[in-house]
Structure 1
Amino acid sequence: MRRRASQPPGPACAFPGPVRVTQQDVRYPSLVGRGLRRFRGSPDEVWVAGATEHVVQAVQHAVRHDMRVAVRSGGHCYEGFVDDPAVRVVIDLSGMRKVSFDPLLNAFAVEAGATLGEMYRDLFLGWGVTVPAGWCPDVGVGGHILGGAYGPLCRSAGLSTDHLYAVEAVVVDRHGTARSVVATREPSDPYRDLWWAHTGGGGGNFGTVTRYWFRSPDADGDDPAGLLPAPPASVLSFHAEWDWQGMDETAFGRLVGNHGQWSEQHSSPDSPFTSLYSELHLLRLPAGRHVMDGQVADTGPAAERLLDAYITALNQGIGTPFTLQKQQLPWLTSALRGPGVDASPYRVKLKAGYLRRRLTDQQIAAAYHQLTRTDYPNPGGALGLYTYGGKVNTVAPEATATAQRDSVLKAVYVAAWEDPAEDDTHLAWIRSFYRDVYADTGGVPVPGTGNSDGSFVNYPDTDLADPRWNTSATPWSTLYYKDNYARLQTVKARWDPRNVFTHALAVEPPPT
């Protein structure tokens, strides 16, 4: 086994040393304002790291002074884990953005401060390969990978964590000493449990990841071009819209039902439709439409045939105005122009659920009611239904920390608004929406019941730990991790025995 990682080529880091920014520093507002708009923290210090040793110094400083520490990569956490008032030290990884090939580990190294767009560009232009991950190019690699990231290529290539070979993490031992370790997926690696925990165990639980290495599990040889999936030369990108006007409850039910039926029928690993990915957003009535964006990772007539068959299946029996725009794009162009979130003016609350089968008639009726309620005028609410499955479902639930391995759709519930004074109104709406859809299972998607298989940890939702909104008697940890939670707790006890890395939905130490 190649045991020691090499340093990537080029300068050692972007900074001569860790940049320690206090509240009086002119740089402070920019650094604490990097998160989503609904949360703003006020830490005493922000340490900008350019290298792993900087992170070790920052973590050691926080431990020595008994200061709660959190880490920020891209700043897209949907709960206030980093911006918690209890957090006094934030480690900002935006200075760690290098992407390189590491010949010692025979894998591609990506520092945790890089964005997905930077990773896609550098891997593709340098070696003609990619990691299947998310659609938003400005999202940071750091927290994204840890939750079992998915995106347009996941149905044909699996999750990003399915290609994760190793992680470098800064951890703290029981004596309070911070150090960095490299953990690989090699069966002989004594640190392998730490690698496993980062294949879907979520961020802020075991340590601070500073670098990832990627190599596909079936890759062979030393040629870098053969160690990760090669993306298609081009993709057929498409955007569809259905008018709300004239769409009654029956037509709405047909659209949602058709989409769910297609997903059930075409999400097996050997389906030719695994190259097709879409996100159907069922918007609130005031928005005037429903929208769908997607791509077919193929070229020419083959891509056109797959898309035509898909659209025909979705439109069966609907009879409302519909438009479709499509464009063949080079793959990298498509990857770098995906939906962005950094410039969004909105405050956002997300909830999620894995679907092993289509929504039931009762669930569709609940969605129709919530999207057409006249006592809630906000147009910024939606139910997203994202195609899933395919290659994702060829991995055993215990092989990685991502336990959900037989779903065909991801459901994403969204509320977006601008005025902070309206927070309670919009939170009440999305909570009632989620509760109504999962009314038969205590207001949450309990794994193994009906069509549900829990929730997605990268869309964290603290309501799942609140008995007012989760009346199922199923703990939040089971909703996210299913049977893998006990193993994650064991990893927590070994690698973070002082519980230095914690937040509102953190993996808890095992009971003593």
Structure 2
Amino acid sequence: MRSSISLLCLLLLSLLLLSLLRESSDSTWKPFEDCLLKHQDPKFPLIYFRNLTSHRDPPFSSVLNAYVRNLRFNSSTALKPSIIITARHESHVKAAVICGATNKIQMKIRSGGHDYEGSSYRVDNNYTNPNVQFFILDMFNLRDIEINLTAKTARVQTGATLGELYYKIATTSQTLGFPAGTCPSVGVGGHIGGGGFGNMIRKYGLSSDNVVDAGIIVANGTLLNRTSMGEDLFWAIRGGGAASFGVVLSYTVKLVPVPEIVTTFKVVKTLEENVTNLAFKWQDVAPNITEDLFLKLNLDVENTEREGKTIRASFEGLFLGTCHRLVKILSDRFPELGLKESNCNEMSWAQSLVGIDKPIEALLSRSFSASYFKGKSDYVEKPISKVGFDGIWNKMIKLKDVKLYFYPYGGKMFTIPASETPFPHRDKILWKIQYGINWKKPDEEKASLDKSMEIYDYMAQFVSEDRRSFFPYRDHTLGININYTYEEGRKYGLKYFGDNFYRLVEIKSKVDAANFFKNEQSIPVKNRHGDFDELISLVTEKKGKRGRKLIV
């Protein structure tokens, strides 16, 4: 009898808690929904999808998962948003910002969903409050692109993909292009806002180096352009993580000249085919050769019948010119590679982004094979010795699953000052390393993440002492801002932005003092008790002794 009473009490308590949760959910989101309806433009009805305790819209899961690229964050334990707003008009973005800020509800901004840590559509489970509620502002429907051939510019909304931008350029001009990434399904907003790296970086710099204007909605719902936002904010949203400052609706970018014929190429070697000597020579050639050539080095472990586990090195990239000219250049500068015309494919610039076997219409595809994935990054300032490479090969063979990608700098990147944009990794950098590991099943995650950290820790001896990182390769192991403090933000901020971090904090504190635009690795606001100003003085004094000026 006593047992039955206990069970009944437990059931009643559960029902009471469920009721309270439902009431809490309704009390949180009803004012928000009312606010959205109040601020929408009647000519452009706002569409959103709910995942509330009291009401769930059937399409919610399909809308959420459509742009989840990393399967790590598509599990049943991942924290889900309560509402997804699929913006189709400027007024929808304004309403989302005003209502989110007014009701003090966290907003995530998603354009393409390729961010490595899923920061645009999830809250990290390491947060102290596992019941945090948030909504997504999904930009994927805002994809208009306008080409101005006279000015040689393109105005592109941030929900467009790189592929859509490339296709529009290619079908308008055969001799213009844009320096950005090689994955067509990446969203323009996150890519340019974080810097934007691609295979024309040595010729034209980053995507963000080629931005001439932007439209951004700030925390009070106002739409600003370059003139009205001022040069400080315009500086910040070109590589400083634009989502920390507002919602960028569009970027206006400079188009760059490309030849009618470009060349892609690939030469694959194994450890038994002199890879150590080739990699040693590559690090001198790749950053210093003609800026028309982007020669990257991809490394992984291959199983062969004869040698067993071995290192496979792929020397590949893009040359802005003909195959004949490329072969001549590499015969002079890198004859050991043995590049032949049979290793090359000549095509248009747009065709090079999808490969020789696909039509350029493939650039319009938004499909992407999601996978379980972890990425990290580093920067190399000094050449690695042959003995050092041998150690790397041994470590990779031991770990089996890790991949290393070496992306050369030099060329244009050597000529742009580190303070020109928030992206600081310029003059001293020979190349960037990306570490990647994929796995197939959820229960393989821990072992895979351990391998990722092991190769990263091992590489410390070869890379920059301060372990710089590339912001678009988001990496939460560098730290996350659980409490949104300056101290927590500084941990990862200096890795991504170097001394430019301090200027970013100053700008953030002016344009978004209430810190509405925040995520796990956003730019923090200044401390109110003066610690920030003291740190600025210390850093200014330290850098001044080196003869360098800190701009804030």
For normalisation by structure 1, the TM-score amounts to 0.80
Q: How far has the Cα of 1:115 moved from its partner?
A: 0.7
Paired position in structure 2 for 1:39: 73
Give RMSD over aligned pairs.
Answer: 3.0
Paired position in structure 2 for 1:108: 154
Q: How far has the Cα of 1:66 moved from its partner?
A: 2.3
Paired position in structure 2 for 1:212: 251
Answer yes or no: is the 8 Å Cα contact 2:86–2:141 preserved in 1: yes
Question: Aligned equivalents of 1:307 and 1:341: distance in 2?
Answer: 36
Q: Which of 486, 501, 504 is the matching residue for 2:502?
A: 486
Larger Rg: 2
Q: How far has the Cα of 1:61 moved from its partner?
A: 2.2
In structure 2, relative to structure 1, the CA distance for the partners of 1:323 and 1:165 (3 Å cut) is closer
Q: Does 1:16 align with 2:53?
A: no
For residues 54-90 of structure 1, the C-alpha deviation after alignment (integer angstroms, 9 at most, x for no partner) is: 1111122222332210111011000131211646210
Q: Which of 252, 255, 258 is the matching residue for 2:278?
A: 255
Aligned structure 1 segments of 4 or more residues deviating by more than 3 angstroms: 101-107, 285-288, 307-311, 313-316, 336-342, 360-363, 444-447
Question: Aligned equivalents of 1:252 and 1:102: distance in 2?
Answer: 46
Residue type of the partner of 1:158?
A: G
Residue type of the partner of 1:257?
A: F
Aligned runs of 1:224-243 on 2, under 5 Å? 228-243=255-270
Q: Which of 436, 443, 447 is the matching residue for 1:425?
A: 447
Q: How far has the Cα of 1:456 moved from its partner?
A: 0.7
Question: Aligned equivalents of 1:323 and 1:330: distance in 2?
Answer: 17
Q: Which structure ranks higher in relative contact order (CA pairs < 8 Å, sequence separation ≥ 6)?
A: 1
Q: Does 1:70 align with 2:104?
A: no
Answer yes or no: is the 8 Å Cα contact 2:286–2:294 preserved in 1: no
Answer yes or no: is the 8 Å Cα contact 1:346–1:417 preserved in 2: yes
In structure 2, relative to structure 1, the CA distance for the partners of 1:346 and 1:213 (3 Å cut) is same
What is the DSSP-based 3-state SS (H/G/I as helix, E as strand, rest coil) of the residue aligned with 1:204? helix
Question: Aligned equivalents of 1:324 and 1:284: distance in 2?
Answer: 25
Answer yes or no: is the 8 Å Cα contact 1:346–1:416 preserved in 2: yes
What is the DSSP-based 3-state SS (H/G/I as helix, E as strand, rest coil) of the residue aligned with 2:313? strand
Q: How far has the Cα of 1:346 moved from its partner?
A: 2.1
Paired position in structure 1 for 2:517: 501
What is the DSSP-based 3-state SS (H/G/I as helix, E as strand, rest coil) of the residue aligned with 1:117? helix
Residue type of the partner of 1:147?
A: G
For residues 445-501 of structure 1, the C-alpha deviation after alignment (integer angstroms, 9 at most, x for no partner) is: 434xxxx7x2110111111228xxxxxxx9322221111111000111111111111
Q: How far has the Cα of 1:214 moved from its partner?
A: 1.5
Paired position in structure 1 for 2:163: 117
Q: Does 1:279 align with 2:307?
A: no
Question: Aligned equivalents of 1:301 and 1:170: distance in 2?
Answer: 49
Q: Does 1:404 align with 2:438?
A: no
Paired position in structure 2 for 1:333: 351
Question: Aligned equivalents of 1:309 and 1:163: distance in 2?
Answer: 32
In structure 2, relative to structure 1, the CA distance for the partners of 1:38 and 1:279 (3 Å cut) is farther
Paired position in structure 1 for 2:135: 89
Q: Which of 209, 213, 221 is the matching residue for 1:178?
A: 221
In structure 2, relative to structure 1, the CA distance for the partners of 1:437 and 1:106 (3 Å cut) is closer
In structure 2, relative to structure 1, the CA distance for the partners of 1:405 and 1:130 (3 Å cut) is same
Q: Which of 347, 356, 376 is the matching residue for 2:372?
A: 347
Residue type of the partner of 2:259?
A: P
In structure 2, relative to structure 1, the CA distance for the partners of 1:55 and 1:511 (3 Å cut) is same
For residues 106-163 of structure 1, the C-alpha deviation after alignment (integer angstroms, 9 at most, x for no partner) is: 9531100111111112123225522211111111111000121121111112211111
Q: How many matched pairs?
A: 446
Question: Aligned equivalents of 2:446 and 2:234: distance in 1?
Answer: 39
Question: Aligned equivalents of 1:504 and 1:29: distance in 2?
Answer: 23
In structure 2, relative to structure 1, the CA distance for the partners of 1:364 and 1:68 (3 Å cut) is same
Paired position in structure 1 for 2:395: 370
Answer yes or no: is the 8 Å Cα contact 1:35–1:77 preserved in 2: no
Answer yes or no: is the 8 Å Cα contact 2:288–2:411 preserved in 1: no
Question: Aligned equivalents of 2:441 and 2:518: distance in 1?
Answer: 30
Q: Which of 389, 394, 397 is the matching residue for 2:415?
A: 394
Answer yes or no: is the 8 Å Cα contact 2:287–2:410 preserved in 1: no
Q: How far has the Cα of 1:171 moved from its partner?
A: 1.3
Q: How far has the Cα of 1:279 moved from its partner?
A: 2.6
Q: Which of 448, 457, 464 is the matching residue for 2:471?
A: 457
Q: Give structure 1 stretches of 5+ with no counterpart.
A: 1-12, 216-227, 267-272, 317-321, 467-473
Answer yes or no: is the 8 Å Cα contact 2:323–2:345 preserved in 1: no
Q: How far has the Cα of 1:364 moved from its partner?
A: 2.5
In structure 2, relative to structure 1, the CA distance for the partners of 1:102 and 1:324 (3 Å cut) is closer
Question: Aligned equivalents of 2:391 and 2:248: distance in 1?
Answer: 40
For residues 218-251 of structure 1, the C-alpha deviation after alignment (integer angstroms, 9 at most, x for no partner) is: xxxxxxxxxx31222121111221135x36xxx4
Q: How far has the Cα of 1:103 moved from its partner?
A: 10
Paired position in structure 2 for 1:312: 335
Could you say which structure has the higher helix fraction? 2
Answer yes or no: is the 8 Å Cα contact 1:493–1:509 preserved in 2: yes
Structure 1 range deviating more: 301-310 or 65-74: 301-310
For normalisation by structure 2, the TM-score amounts to 0.74
Question: Aligned equivalents of 1:125 and 1:39: distance in 2?
Answer: 36
